[in-house]
Amino acid sequence: MVPPLLSRPRETELVVVGASAGAVDALGELLPALPADARVPFVVVVHVPPSKPSLLVDLFSSKCALAVRQPFDKQPIEPGVWIAAPDYHLLVERDRTFAVSIDEPVNYSRPSIDVLFESAAVVYGRALAAVVLTGASRDGAAGARKVRAEGGLVLVQDPSEAEVDVMPRAAIEESTPELVAPLAQLAQALRDISRGRP
Amino acid sequence: MSGDARSSAFEIELRLLLEAIFLRFHYDFRSYSMASLRRRVTAALSALGCETVSALQEKILHQPETFTALLQYLTVQVSDMFRDPAFFLAFRQHVVPELATYPSPRVWIAGASSGEEVYTVAIILAEEGLLDRALLYATDINPDAIAKAKAGVYAEERIPTFAANHRAAGGKQPFERYYTSAYGHAAFDRKLRDRVVFADHSLATDSVFAEVQAVTCRNVLIYFDRTLQERAVGLFRDALSRRGFLGLGAMESLQLTKQSSAFEPFLPELKWYRRS
């Protein structure tokens, strides 16, 4: 039984997801659970080493019902799963296109979860949902706070279940999320959100 | 005050700041990517001790010397030498042999910033025996960045990355021969910049200044909006000789520009295009 997420009606138009250490397994549970008819784009930042080409797109393409792509600069944000490229920050513009930058790493990371969350919060406001998963840094916590400040939803993986609990704990401390739950329950919540419910 | 109202106040102030910068200092950031500007200006606010963007605007208008400090936040990006080795390996193997057919090939490094890419191109041309008869134009809008590029001095701790990238990009000489170390810094060989013209040039407001056979402009267009991207790519189109080469950053593409018909893919997966 999934608890009701919302005290007020809203339509979520974008979901942003951040994950670090333990990301592959956690995303392997969440992303394949998304239905092929999801109307909401899912944008994912995973901390990956800058020098290696990211294999995540290939890895998840074969497992997901949705198209899994790496966004390039100025591309419109359409439904599907988007995974940030290594060594660039991924941001969202007012006209709902992607932007990228090579500005300094944030929280020692590029891409940084905070950078994505903060830029998306400004543009989508209440229509944004942010998900913080397993990880060993505090990246995502400031971003989750900004998402809440702009009226968006924050969902965090239950730290007791996370492979590394630092990142979910930091997000909980900073942002008082609407939902802290194990992956199975987050997956259900994202399925609901992706179909325009709640 | 709701989040939305606060955001739009910031955006209004940001637009006014960019207008003030244009009117007072003739730097045109009005067509830059707002998502990146927002982060950069937010960083500048705390560094320059301003509570709001309006306060920052007042400061730069009444204490113009502050603008130099702000400019560093608005423009500077640090790149590594031979960043994306595969791109420079392709330059060495596929572009340089074509450049070698010209008596005096010219290469424009647009948005050269603090010069890492200038030395990258110069080293490759030197190793391929082309530097002595080549001419490089290294342009940027930030005079401090150009001064750094001219000086060619970088923190020694960055050398291992540069050297590893150089090897991966097909480097033919030991990397140590290109610099001398002292006091934690590496000063690059002056001979590498004998054939470089450093100049103040804006892709937003200036026009074409020379005919060139290759342009590299990497991770610069990502900071522009689509209108300004069109303008910049238009300048490259006009500056390039027929069959000249254009190299972009890994996340950049001609796909969304109107000029795409002026170029054909050369090694598109490595972001090399060719003037048709």
**Stretch among A4-13, B104-113, B201-210, B247-256 having the lowest mean pLDDT:** A4-13
CATH code for residues B85-275? 3.40.50.150
CA B173 to chain A, closest CA, distance in angstroms equals 22
**Residue reference for tokens 């950031």:** B29
Contacts of A78 in chain B (CB under 8 A): none
Contacts of B7 in chain A (CB under 8 A): 122, 125, 150
DSSP states of B143-211: HHHHHHHHHTEEEGGGHHHHHHHHHHTT--S-GGGGEEEETTEEEEPGGGGTTEEEEE--TTT----S-
Contacts of B46 in chain A (CB under 8 A): none
Instruction: Tell whether the torsion through CA atoms of B89, B91, B95 and B97 is positive or negative.
Output: negative
CB-CB under 8 Å, A99 with B33: yes
Nearest to B216 by CA among B125, B136, B100: B136
Query: In a 3-state reduction of DSSP, which class is residue A78?
Result: coil
Does position B3 have pLDDT exceeding 60, yes or no?
A: no
pLDDT of the residue at A120: 98
pLDDT of the residue at A196: 74
CB-CB under 8 Å, A151 with B4: yes
CA atoms of A62 and A60, how far apart (whole Å): 5
Which domains are delineated in chain A?
15-194 (3.40.50.180)
pLDDT of the residue at A3: 53
CA atoms of A1 and B269, how far apart (whole Å): 47
Query: C-alpha distances in angstroms, B82 versus B92, B98, B155, B156, B228?
Result: 11, 20, 16, 16, 26
- Burial of B245 from C-beta contacts in 10 A (0-12 / 13-18 / 19+): buried
Single-letter residue type at A23: A
Single-letter residue type at B61: L
Both tokens of residue B159? Answer: 């050398």
- Decide which of B135 and B254 is more confident: B135
DSSP B252: -
pLDDT of the residue at B1: 40
Contacts of B39 in chain A (CB under 8 A): 91, 101, 103, 115, 118-119
Work out the average pLDDT over B218-234: 95
Q: Are strands A14-19 and A41-46 parallel, antiparallel or unpaired?
A: parallel
Query: C-alpha distances in angstroms, B238 versus A173, B49, B231, B261, B263?
Result: 54, 43, 11, 13, 11
- Decide which of B111 and A5 is more confident: B111
Query: C-alpha distances in angstroms, A107 versus A86, A139, A149?
Result: 15, 6, 21
pLDDT of the residue at A9: 56
pLDDT of the residue at A53: 60
Q: Are B73 and B67 in contact (CB under 8 A)?
A: no
Query: In a 3-state reduction of DSSP, which class is residue A10?
Result: coil
- Burial of B58 from C-beta contacts in 10 A (0-12 / 13-18 / 19+): middle
pLDDT of the residue at B257: 81
Q: What is this model's ipTM?
A: 0.90
Tens digits of per-residue pLDDT, A105-137? Answer: 999 999 999 999 999 999 999 999 999 999 999
Report residue B253 CA to chain centroid gap: 16
pLDDT of the residue at B256: 76
Instruction: Name, in order, each residue with C-beta under 8 angstroms of B172's C-beta and a sequence gap of 6 or more.
Output: B127
pLDDT of the residue at A5: 56
pLDDT of the residue at B2: 43
What residues of chain B have any CB closer than 8 angstroms to a CB in chain A? 2-4, 7, 11, 33-36, 38-40, 77-79, 219, 221-223, 226, 229, 249-253, 255-256
Work out the average pLDDT over A163-183: 96
B253 pLDDT band, cuts 50/70/90, is: confident
Work out the average pLDDT over B192-208: 97
Query: In a 3-state reduction of DSSP, which class is residue B29?
Result: coil
Tens digits of per-residue pLDDT, B143-197? Answer: 999 999 999 999 999 999 999 999 999 999 999 999 999 999 999 999 999 999 9
What residues of chain A have any CB closer than 8 angstroms to a CB in chain B? 72-75, 85, 87-88, 91-94, 99-104, 115, 118-119, 121-122, 125, 149-151
CB-CB under 8 Å, A101 with B33: yes
CA closest to A118 among chain B residues: B39
**Residue reference for tokens 């987050």:** A186
pLDDT of the residue at B162: 98
Does position A8 have pLDDT exceeding 60, yes or no?
A: no
Tens digits of per-residue pLDDT, B23-58? Answer: 999 999 999 999 999 999 999 999 999 999 999 999
Question: Domain coordinates of chain B in residue numbers?
Answer: 3-75, 85-275
CA atoms of B75 and B139, how far apart (whole Å): 13
- Which stretches of A5-106 are DSSP H helices? 23-30, 56-61
